[in-house]
Amino acid sequence: MSSSKRPTSKAAKAAAPRRPPTGPPASARLTIKAGPPGRPGQVDLPPRPRPGGRRPLSEVVLEEDEVLTDSFDATLNGVQVRVTAVLERTCVYLGLEGERTLVSKKDLLVEADKLPIRRRGMP
């Protein structure tokens, strides 16, 4: 049937069966408001206590729910450097002239209790 031969009366449209409502009325539906800005679905927990003292970064063990959150200072061969990224066995640090360099975690000395560690938690 072409579009020019379709019935256009209101009666034809009204004759179509209506589906029954499938849920509660809109006024009874639950709405969830957004929480505070930040990472959704995570709660910041206090860090676990760590013994102080200088030690190689490779000896600082993070729990599964802990992450390093920021860059930090470390000592490499007696020189203070700024560590900007920590990988599985290596780190990226900024040298004296601002160049990025890769180094093994065992070569960096850190104060374990001063590292910027945050625990992740699920609500």
pLDDT by 10-residue block (mean), the chain, 123 residues: 59 64 58 53 59 87 84 93 92 89 95 85 54
pLDDT score at 82: 93
Q: Note the residue count of the chain.
A: 123
* Global confidence as pTM: 0.56
pLDDT score at 32: 47
pLDDT score at 70: 87
Type of residue found at 62: L
Sequence spans of domains, the chain: 52-123
Grouping H, G, I as helix, E, B as strand and the rest as coil, residue 19 is coil
- Contact in structure between 103 and 89 (CB atoms under 8 Å): no
Helix (H), strand (E) at residue 14: helix 10-14
